[in-house]
C-alpha cells in the first residue's frame, strides 16, 4: 500500500469514525428514523449522481431492476437496520463506545460466514472471536458502572439494551456481507451501493414521515431541530455515506478487499477522538483496555494476524522435539 492509498485509508476511517459523532449530535433532535432516512437518502442521491457522471447509470438501473430483491435485502441489512440500531444506541452510549462496538463487525462476519457459507475457522480465528467478544463485555461492563457527573444518570439496564442494539447492528453488517457474497457477486460495487442505499431510503421513508419531529421544517419553529443537527445530517449523508462509500470502493479496486477492510481497526480511534474533542466524552482506562482487546480479537478472527509469535515459536519447538 503506497503513501497515497494509506492516506486515503486514514481519511476513510476519519469519515466513518465521524459518523458516530454526527449521529450523537443529530439523533436527539431528529429521532432515529428521520435522521437515518435523511442519511441514506442523501447518500443514495450522491451515489446515483456518481453513476450518472461515470456514464453507467442506464446499465446500473437495468441491473437494479434485475436484482431488486437482493438489493432490498442488503439495503435493510447493511444500511436501514444497522444505522437505526446505532442511532438508538447513541441515545445512551457515547460516540466512542459505539464506534468500538462497531469494530466487532468482522467478528460477526467471520461467524456468519462459518455458519452459512461453511468458511473455515482455524483455532486462532476461534480464539480471536472469543477475545473480541470478551472485550465487548468488558467495555459494556465499564459503561454500566462508570459514573459521569456531567450527564443524567443512566440505569445499567438501559446501557445494556443500547449495547445490545449496537451489537445487533454489527451482526446485521456481518449477515449482509455473507448475503452479498452469495447473491450479488459480480455486480458492480458502485451499483450495489447506490441500489442498496436507494432501497434503504424507500424502506425508512414511511417511518421517517410517521416519526418526523413537529416543526422540523417550519420556518417559525426552528427550535425543534437545531442548526447543529441539520449540519450533522449533511455530514452523515454527504461525507460519511456518499464520499466514504466512493473512497471505500476505490480502495477495494486499487489495494484489494483484504487491505481495505483494515479500516475497521482505525475507525474506533477516530470515533473516540472526535467524541473527546467535540463532545467532551470521557475516555477511561477501562474503555481504552476494552478497545484494545476488541481490536486484538478482531485482528485474530479476520486473519490479519495469522499467529501469535510466542505461540508459533513454541509450536515449532514442540514439533522439532517430536521429530527428534
pLDDT of residue 155: 82
- What is the rounded distance in angstroms from the CA atom of residue 121 to the CA atom of residue 251? 26
pLDDT tops 50 at residue 219: no
pLDDT of residue 313: 47
Q: What is the pLDDT of residues 254-286, one digit of tens each?
A: 887 667 777 888 899 999 999 999 999 988 888
pLDDT of residue 220: 43
252 versus 19: which is more confidently predicted?
19
* φ and ψ at residue 60, rounded to 5 degrees: -65, -45
Average pLDDT over residues 177-194: 88
The mean pLDDT value of the chain amounts to 86
pLDDT tops 90 at residue 73: yes
Q: What is the pLDDT of residues 82-109, one digit of tens each?
A: 999 999 999 999 999 999 999 898 888 8
Burial class (CB within 10 angstroms; exposed 0-12, middle 13-18, buried 19+) of 306: exposed
CB 200, CB 43: distance < 8 Å: no
262 versus 4: which is more confidently predicted?
4
pLDDT tops 70 at residue 235: yes
User: Which three cell numbers, joined as nine digits, stand for 321?
Assistant: 522435539
Sign of CA dihedral 280, 281, 284, 288: negative
Q: What is the pLDDT of residues 18-63, one digit of tens each?
A: 999 999 999 999 999 999 999 999 999 999 999 999 999 999 999 9
Q: What is the pLDDT of residues 121-131, one digit of tens each?
A: 888 888 888 99
pLDDT of residue 150: 46
Q: Where are the domains of the chain?
A: 3-323
Alpha helices in the chain (DSSP H): 3-30, 32-54, 57-66, 68-75, 81-89, 95-102, 105-117, 123-144, 156-183, 189-210, 227-234, 244-255, 257-260, 263-279, 285-301, 309-323
pLDDT tops 50 at residue 319: no
> What's the pLDDT band for 246 if we cut at 50, 70, 90?
confident
Q: Any idea which of 136-145, 216-225, 244-253, 309-318 has the lowest mean pLDDT?
A: 309-318
Amino acid at each position: 500500500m503506497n503513501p497515497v492509498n494509506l492516506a486515503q485509508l486514514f481519511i476513510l476511517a476519519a469519515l466513518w469514525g465521524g459518523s458516530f459523532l454526527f449521529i450523537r449530535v443529530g439523533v436527539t433532535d431528529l429521532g432515529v428514523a428521520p435522521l437515518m432516512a435523511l442519511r441514506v437518502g442523501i447518500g443514495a442521491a450522491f451515489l446515483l449522481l456518481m453513476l450518472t457522471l461515470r456514464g453507467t447509470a442506464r446499465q446500473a438501473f437495468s441491473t437494479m431492476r434485475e436484482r431488486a430483491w437482493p438489493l432490498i435485502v442488503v439495503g435493510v441489512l447493511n444500511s436501514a437496520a444497522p444505522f437505526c440500531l446505532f442511532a438508538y444506541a447513541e441515545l445512551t452510549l457515547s460516540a466512542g463506545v459505539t464506534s468500538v462496538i462497531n469494530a466487532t463487525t468482522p467478528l460477526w462476519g467471520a461467524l456468519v460466514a462459518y455458519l452459512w457459507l461453511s468458511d473455515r475457522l482455524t483455532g486462532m480465528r476461534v480464539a480471536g472471536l472469543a477475545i473480541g467478544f470478551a472485550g465487548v463485555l468488558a467495555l459494556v461492563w465499564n459503561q454500566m458502572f462508570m459514573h459521569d457527573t456531567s450527564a443524567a444518570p443512566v440505569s445499567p439496564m438501559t446501557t445494556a439494551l443500547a449495547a445490545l442494539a449496537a451489537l445487533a447492528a454489527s451482526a446485521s453488517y456481518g449477515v449482509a456481507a455473507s448475503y452479498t457474497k452469495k447473491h450479488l457477486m459480480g455486480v458492480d460495487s458502485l451499483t450495489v451501493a447506490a441500489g442498496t442505499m436507494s432501497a434503504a431510503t424507500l424502506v425508512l421513508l414511511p417511518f421517517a414521515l410517521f416519526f418526523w419531529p413537529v416543526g422540523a421544517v417550519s420556518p417559525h419553529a426552528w427550535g425543534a431541530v437545531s442548526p447543529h443537527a441539520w449540519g450533522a445530517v449533511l455530514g452523515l449523508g454527504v461525507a460519511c455515506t456518499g464520499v466514504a462509500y466512493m473512497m471505500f470502493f476505490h480502495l477495494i479496486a486499487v489495494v484489494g478487499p483484504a487491505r481495505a477492510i483494515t479500516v475497521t481497526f482505525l475507525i474506533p480511534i477516530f470515533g473516540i477522538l472526535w467524541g473527546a474533542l467535540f463532545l467532551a466524552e470521557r475516555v477511561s482506562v477501562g474503555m481504552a483496555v476494552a478497545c484494545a482487546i476488541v481490536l486484538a480479537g478482531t485482528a485474530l478472527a479476520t486473519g490479519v494476524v495469522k499467529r501469535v509469535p510466542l505461540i508459533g515459536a513454541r509450536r515449532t519447538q514442540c514439533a522439532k522435539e517430536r521429530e527428534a
